């Protein structure tokens, strides 16, 4: 089944709002913003299906107009069921100048014999902020279904003004390349990647120590955090529980969301003032 979801977030009177939405089964969309004073838009993608079935094709397109802030949320774990042909997902996210998009979806659970191929492309313009993550599990671990899926591939590409600035090509074929091997999952059963990128002026570097400290508190994980060639960072983590990694990424998201760098970057008088005081 081909399923479509289109979201256009707009900005008027100092507030982000859902300008247009279009979706077909099984998608649904709910506005989950909690505070009237919050100028950002919070949307939850809901689904009447527990996951992707054979031959499913998800086609998702999200557009953020100038100055919009959108936090997208998922409703539950994304299951990939037993398949012959395989399922696909295409996601296109376009951020216009000055907008920010943050999305920490629930973990993906590839069941036995599932085959998935995803492609996410993100286009950024000036003064944009992006936080995006992905968590993949070994399957239904507690039923003993560990790495029984056929293949999982997800390609993520981020462009800043037409130039490719980040690419992540995740390919998992447990039968062909054992996940326990050194350099791969190394005995862990869950993997996660979180990317933060800012095309504004203020360096994302200020967040590195904070994120490092946050993730350090997790027990039983192995993680790495590193600066990108552009203004941003990549967090990669291996662990043994979906809930743990998801909550960890949520905490990182919360730490980065309220003190939006862009708002501060837009007010140069504010950000430069402390520097001047120091110089005097």
Binding residues for another protein, rule: CB under 8 A, are 155, 157-158, 163-171, 177, 181-186, 191, 193, 212, 222-229, 234, 236-238
Smallest separation, CB 177 to another protein (Å) = 6
Q: In whole angstroms, give the CA distance from residue 269 to residue 259.
A: 17
> Which of 62/225 has CB closer to another protein?
225
To the nearest whole angstrom, how small is the minimum distance from the Cβ of residue 156 to another protein? Answer: 10
Q: Which is nearer to another protein, 167 or 270 (CB)?
A: 167
Closer of 244 and 260 to another protein (Cβ): 244
Q: Would you say 67 or 231 has its CB closer to another protein? A: 231
Q: How many CB atoms lie within 10 A of CB 141?
A: 16
- The CA-atom distances, in angstroms, between 182 and each of 67, 221, 237 are 44, 15, 15
Helix or strand holding residue 272 (H, E): helix 268-279
Nearer to another protein, 31 or 205 (CB): 205
Place of tokens 């100048």: 97
* Closer of 98 and 174 to another protein (Cβ): 174
Q: Long-range pairs for 181-189 at CB < 8 Å and ≥24 separation?
A: 185/138, 185/238, 186/222, 186/238, 188/221, 188/222, 188/238, 188/239, 188/240, 189/137, 189/138, 189/141, 189/146, 189/147, 189/239, 189/240
56-93 exposure pattern, b = at least 16 Cβ within 10 A, e = fewer: bebebebbbbebbbbbbbbeebbbbbebeebbbbebeb
In the complex, the smallest distance separating the C-beta of residue 271 from another protein, rounded to whole angstroms, is 25
Query: How many angstroms separate the CA atoms of 120 and 248, rounded?
Result: 22
Q: How far is the CB of 268 from another protein (least distance, A)?
A: 25
Residue in 144, 249, 267, 134 with CA at minimum distance from that of residue 202: 267
CB of 203 to another protein, least distance (A): 14
* Least distance CB 31 / another protein (angstroms): 34
Q: Which is nearer to another protein, 48 or 162 (CB)?
A: 162
Q: How far is the CB of 76 from another protein (least distance, A)?
A: 24
């Amino acid at each position: 089944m081909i399923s479509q979801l289109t979201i256009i977030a707009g900005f008027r009177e100092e507030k982000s709002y859902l300008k247009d939405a279009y979706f077909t089964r099984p998608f649904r969309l709910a506005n989950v913003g909690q505070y009237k004073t919050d100028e950002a838009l919070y949307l939850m993608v809901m689904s009447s299906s527990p996951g992707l079935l054979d031959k499913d094709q998800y086609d998702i397109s999200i557009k953020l107009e100038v100055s919009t802030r959108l936090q997208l949320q998922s409703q539950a774990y994304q299951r990939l069921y037993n398949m012959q042909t395989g399922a696909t997902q295409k996601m296109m996210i376009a951020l216009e100048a000055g907008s920010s998009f943050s999305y920490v979806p629930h973990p993906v659970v590839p069941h036995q014999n599932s085959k998935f191929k995803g492609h996410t492309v993100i286009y950024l313009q000036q003064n944009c902020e992006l936080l995006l993550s992905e968590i993949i599990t070994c399957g239904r671990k507690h039923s003993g279904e560990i790495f029984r899926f056929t293949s999982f591939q997800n390609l993520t590409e981020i462009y800043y003004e037409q130039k490719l600035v980040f690419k992540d090509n995740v390919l998992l074929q447990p039968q062909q390349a054992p996940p326990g091997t050194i350099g791969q999952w190394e005995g862990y059963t869950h993997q996660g990647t979180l990317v933060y990128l800012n095309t504004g002026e203020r360096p994302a570097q200020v967040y590195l120590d904070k994120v490092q400290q946050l993730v350090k508190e997790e027990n039983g994980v192995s993680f790495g955090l590193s600066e990108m060639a552009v203004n941003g960072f990549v967090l990669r983590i291996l662990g043994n529980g979906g809930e743990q990694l998801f909550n960890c990424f949520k905490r990182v998201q919360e730490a980065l969301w309220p003190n939006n760098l862009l708002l501060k970057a837009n007010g140069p008088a504010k950000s430069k003032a402390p520097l001047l005081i120091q110089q005097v």
